[in-house]
Amino acid sequence: MIINIKKLNTIETGKNIDQKINKSSLVTIIFILLGLIIFSASTFTVEEFNGATVTRFGKVTKLIVNEKTPEIMDSIQDNSKYQNIKVTDKKGLFFKVPFIDSVTKYSSKLLTYDTSAREVTTKDKKKLILDNNAQWQIVNPLLFRISMGNETNAHTRLDDILYSKINEKIGQTEAHVLISDKDYTSNMLDECVTDINKSVSSYGIKVVDIKIKRTDLPSENSENIFNRMKTEREQKAKEYRSEGKEEAQKIRSEADKEAKILEAKAYAEAETIKGEGDAEATHIYNLAYNQDPEFYEFYRTLQTYKKTLSSKTKIIIDSNSPFAKYLFGQ
């Protein structure tokens, strides 16, 4: 019985030790968990290309941005309510007061908003259905938080502003130009971006690009617009052909004029050369005649024979003719 009592005491002692160890481990685990919870509640991270605002009791106390641009700094300095806000462009791990400070993160990357398809009216009173999208980004987290709050609200506001501005521009444009002239449409959208950014700068956002994804025609407008486009293309083709004919006629007239000028110059030069040749020949004849009149007369007679007689020509010469003088030795 004594042995059994000792064994029981040993077992009970082991159990007490195990219980103490378990309690100690549990307390340690609890403290570790509490520490992790407190650390997690006291810190936050901001990744590259993101921004964030830290608020305490509803007021912004810290602003984390990609770059301290003049626009951001001016928006803080111009308002006495924001002058105590700390601004940093560093990224990584940050500390906050747990359960008191609230952190809202924002992406600084380009965001895409697809507007709903809407009907617009062109300058020539034609109906079009446009479906477009916009590339935009948050450039001032402070203004964005105060004015928009979140991306959903921003998309709602953008939808109204985009539709209003695009509808205004399209109302100044005829339908066939909007459909067929891509350069005009691109310039029009660039103007829309410039005008829209003037309206949304106070919201802390910036529109980078607007694209028209799809342009549809209501069935009642399609035939009229395409017929007009066809007529204008045919008219333009006629103008090109007319301009081509006019240019060709102009080229031919210039060529004929130049040809006549060249021909006149050539004729004048030929006449000049011919005159000079005749004068030279006359001079030579005169020299020959002065040196030997009788031989010159004989030579001239032979030249006359050469021009007037052929191998089968029969002539009757008077004995008193100058020709007979040389033929018959008279």
CB burial of 21-57 (b: ≥16 within 10 Å; e: otherwise) equals eeeeeeeeeeeeeeeeeeeeeeebebeeebbbbbbee
Going by pLDDT thresholds of 50, 70 and 90, the confidence category of residue 195 is very high
Look at residue 208 in the predicted model and tell me its pLDDT.
Answer: 92
Give the up-direction half-sphere exposure of residue 91: CA atoms within 13 A in the CB hemisphere: 13
Query: Hey, which residues does 137 pair with through a beta bridge?
Result: 206
* pLDDT band with cut points at 50, 70 and 90 for residue 179: confident
Greater pLDDT, 130 or 3: 130
85 or 308, which is more confident? 85
Assign 129 a pLDDT band (cuts: 50, 70, 90). confident
Looking up tokens 């103008």, which residue turns up?
239
Of 105 and 222, the structure prediction assigns the larger pLDDT to 105
**Which pLDDT score is estimated for 224?**
63
pLDDT at 177 over 70: yes
pLDDT band, very low/low/confident/very high, at 225 (cuts 50, 70, 90): low
What percent of the residues of the chain are helix, what percent strand, and what percent coil, each to the nearest 5? 60, 20, 20
Query: What is the CB neighbour count within 10 angstroms for residue 62?
Result: 17
pLDDT of residue 1: 45
* pLDDT bucket at 136, cuts 50 / 70 / 90: very high
Query: Mean pLDDT over residues 120-149, rounded?
Result: 86
Range with the lowest mean pLDDT among 10-24, 102-116, 203-217, 308-322? 10-24
Residue predicted with more confidence, 116 or 260? 260
Position 326 confidence tier, pLDDT thresholds 50, 70, 90 = low
Q: What is the mean pLDDT of residues 218-244?
A: 73
Q: Higher model confidence: residue 203 or residue 39?
A: 203
Between helix 293-308 and helix 219-291 the angle, nearest 10°, is: 140
Average of per-residue pLDDT across 67-90? 80
In the predicted model, what is the mean pLDDT of residues 166-185?
85
Domain boundaries, the chain: 2-43, 44-107, 112-217
Residues 6+ apart with CB under 8 A from 4: none
CA dihedral 124, 126, 131, 132 (to 10 degrees): 0
Give residue 2's pLDDT: 46
Ranking 115-119, 197-201, 220-224, 250-254 by mean pLDDT, the lowest is: 220-224
CATH number corresponding to 112-217: 3.30.479.30
Q: Is the pLDDT of residue 284 over 60?
A: yes
Residue 192 near residue 158 (C-beta atoms within 8 A): no
Nearest alpha carbon to residue 134 among 212, 200, 49:
212
Mean pLDDT highest for which of 87-101, 278-292, 311-325?
87-101
Whether the predicted model's global pTM rises above the 0.75 cut = no
Rounded average pLDDT over 318-325: 65
User: Strands, DSSP E only, in the chain?
Assistant: 43-46, 50-56, 59-64, 86-88, 92-95, 101-107, 111-114, 118-121, 127-138, 205-216
Percent of the chain with pLDDT over 70: 77
pLDDT for 128 beyond 90:
no
pLDDT of residue 330 exceeding 50, the answer is yes
* pLDDT score of 264 more than 60: yes
Residue 266 has pLDDT above 80, yes or no: yes
